[in-house]
Amino acid sequence: MIRIGRYLIVKAIYIFFDILLLSVSLFIACWIRQSTLPFPVSHQNLFFDPVNPFRFLFLFWISVIIFTNNTHGLYQTKREIFETVEIWGVVKSVFLSSLMMIVAMFVLKFSNFPRSILFLATTFAFLSLSIWRILKRLLVEYLVIQGYNNFNVLIIGAGKVGEALVKEIRKKPALGLNIVGYLDDFKEKDLKEGDLKILGKISDFVNITRRKFVNKIFITNHYDSEVFMKLLEQAKELGIAVRVIPHGFELVSGEFSKYNIGFIPILEYCDGETHYKQAGKRFFDFIAVICLAIAVFPILLVIAILIKLDSSGPVLYFSKRYGRGGRIFFMYKFRSMRVDADQVVNQIQDKNEVDGPIFKIRKDPRVTIIGRILRKYSLDELPQLFNVIKGDMSLVGPRPLPIKQVQKEDFRQLRRLEVRPGITGLWQIRGRSDISFARLVKWDVWYINNWSLWLDLNILLQTVPVVFKGKGAY
């Protein structure tokens, strides 16, 4: 009951702020276009004074936005989703409400209503509601990290999926998930998984959840139906939320979706064509890179001059790489090594510090003075903007590996060639050169399976602070 009361209070606060911001958006729009209205604009006559013939339209517009916001789940903060999902919900709500207002004007024959006010009010509403939700989410994340409204979590299954889930949860403290341990029928009870213990077997579920005050469980193993149904029944009796990791999730292309056939819920493993899904990606890349190339052109000139002053040789380095579908292209980079770097690589092959086919050394003797700076802040990658313009690469995608390195590797990484390689990607924001090749391949496959424009935007935004910190690059 306490939790329900808290939820209703938070929801009421969210609705109050939305009403306030929508009222302010309407007032500003009317104030800007006051000359087009048949009444003087003030706070008092905007909604309730009969002198305003459009007051019911205004109230209708606000009511529809509040209703559609509620249907899109915008009066709660779901910690697991990106803020872009919330903003997309705002876009849909504001757009739909504006369409309904146009219909209302037509039905009620408000032919003299200024369309410019509707346009301005819609724009201000989108901006104000979006900014408010970003600030609200930042506040919620801060409170959660400080310990407010955290949840105790029990992981069912201490296998690879369970361990991977723990790592991902701990990377996101704003989720407010405190992992108390594992339950597993196939490993010893006293065995430690990292700093977490296996607390018992599935039969100990009720005892462990009560003793550890568990709020949520994540089921990562796929037990037989009898064990699974018993877990669900016990969790329901105890008021514990259940989350299930889909079987084979790492192999699935696309997103999961849920629908019903009669009363039977169906989890669909979407398997859309990768190229079809990414139809708008090329257009976005081209427009974004043209703007970016113009902005950084002076920086490119300065770097070129510094490279020439630092060491003899060409400014650019051309490296053969595999592109989409195995097509070979030349990837452009600012030269960060001496000109004979490729010839002497065999002499230092035994000093490789990373696994897989990738060759990396933290203090590579072939790297020039200016090259170390370029590599640390990824400035040597800037010429790849022209690879994007040509269509060889994308802004975001799997990192293209040199031909010889790919030919040394097995078929694990061939899925990476289904899409255009990228200048940045999950590898960039999660460790750069410090991550293993196996994890790089896993993240690349996950990116291909779960691609969306919002994911690309999120990766691009996270790349900026990672590059400025210069961590993990060598």
How many Cβ atoms sit within 10 Å of the Cβ of residue 451? 21
* Spatial CA neighbour of 415 closest among 329, 331, 322: 322
pLDDT in tens, the chain (474 residues): 555 667 788 888 899 999 999 999 989 988 888 888 877 877 777 787 788 888 888 888 889 899 988 888 888 877 777 777 888 889 888 888 888 888 887 777 777 788 888 889 999 999 999 999 889 888 888 888 888 888 899 999 888 888 888 888 888 888 888 999 898 888 766 555 567 888 888 888 999 999 999 999 998 887 777 888 888 888 888 889 888 887 766 655 556 667 678 777 777 765 555 555 566 788 888 888 998 888 899 999 999 999 999 888 899 999 888 888 778 899 999 998 888 777 766 666 666 655 555 666 767 778 888 988 898 888 999 999 999 999 899 999 888 877 766 655 555 566 677 788 999 988 777 765 556 667 777 788 788 877 878 888 888 888 888 777 766 554
Neighbouring C-beta atoms of residue 75, cutoff 10 Å: 18
Cβ contact 30:117 at 8 Å? yes
* Domain map (residue ranges) of the chain: 2-145, 151-245, 278-469
User: For residue 200, how many C-alpha atoms fall within 13 Å in the half-sphere facing its CB?
Assistant: 12
| Distance (Å) of CA 182 to CA 151, 186, 210 | 15, 11, 14
* Token pair 């990476």: residue: 416
> Tokens in use for 377?
């802040």
Residue with tokens 């190339």: 293
Separation of alpha carbons 423 and 383, rounded Å:
10
- Rounded to whole angstroms, the Cα distance separating 179 from 170 reads 9
Amino acid at residue number 40: P
Instruction: Please count the other Cβ atoms lying within 10 Å of the Cβ belonging to residue 278.
Output: 22
Is pTM beyond 0.85? Reply is: no
From CA 472, how far away is CA 474, in angstroms rounded?
A: 7
What's the DSSP call for residue 198?
E
219: closest CA among 244, 240, 202, 238?
A: 244
- Which amino acid is present at 61? W
| Domain 151-245 classification at class level | alpha beta
**Residue type (1 letter), 66:** I
* Of 272, 235, 242, nearest in space to 257 by CA: 272
What pLDDT is attached to residue 311? Answer: 86
Q: Is the dihedral of CA 414, 415, 419, 421 positive or negative?
A: negative
d(CA 212, CA 155): 12
Q: Which two tokens stand for residue 182?
A: 């594992």
Burial profile 348-375: b = 16 or more Cβ within 10 angstroms, e = fewer: eeeeeebebbbbebeebebbbebbebbb
